[in-house]
Amino acid sequence: MLTTKVLRILVVCEIALSVATLAASALFGDSIPAIDEYLEGPGASPLFTIANAGMTATNLLIFSFLVAFAGIYIASLVGLLLLRRWSRRLYVIAFIAGVCLYPFLGSSLVDPLSGTIDYLLAACSGAILATLYLSDITTLFDSRTPNKSLERGRDG
């Protein structure tokens, strides 16, 4: 079915854009010393400020939360590719957790390429959410017994 193909294309795009945003931030992460000084001082991320305080129970808890978040996000994307019912709920949980984490990332300086990739990634996430809840694929994720007409779309 067309909707399952669209969902899979969107998920593959989100995976590719996630990798691209990590690569772009690694390639273009250098900035002038004055900006680095600000980002490490008054503009520092609360998460990174805590992490730089040394190995504490709080740091382990935060690190565990970030690892769990990454695991949930990756599992949800794989589940969406495989059209698993549980993946829709997991994707929403990962999306909400990501939105809640964002304010704690502190100030950032984004180069134009990274900003563009981030913008496309956000649009892709919104398109996935819209597809999951506003298209005919919702029957596949809502039903207790699989809808055979949509199930055949898995192969195509």
d(CA 146, CA 124): 26
Report yes or no on whether pTM surpasses 0.85.
no
Positive or negative: CA dihedral 151, 11, 70, 16: positive
The pLDDT assigned to 156 comes to 46
User: For helices 2-27 and 57-81, what crossing angle results, to 10°?
Assistant: 140
pLDDT value at position 110? Answer: 80
Structure tokens at 60: 């382990």
Q: Would you write out the chain's pLDDT as a tens digit for each of its 156 residues?
A: 678 999 999 999 999 999 999 898 888 767 777 777 776 776 666 666 665 666 677 777 878 888 899 999 999 999 999 999 999 999 999 999 999 888 777 777 788 898 899 999 999 999 999 999 999 988 888 865 555 555 555 544
Residue 125 to residue 137: CA distance in whole angstroms: 16
List helix spans (H) across 28-136: 33-40, 46-51, 57-81, 85-101, 112-134
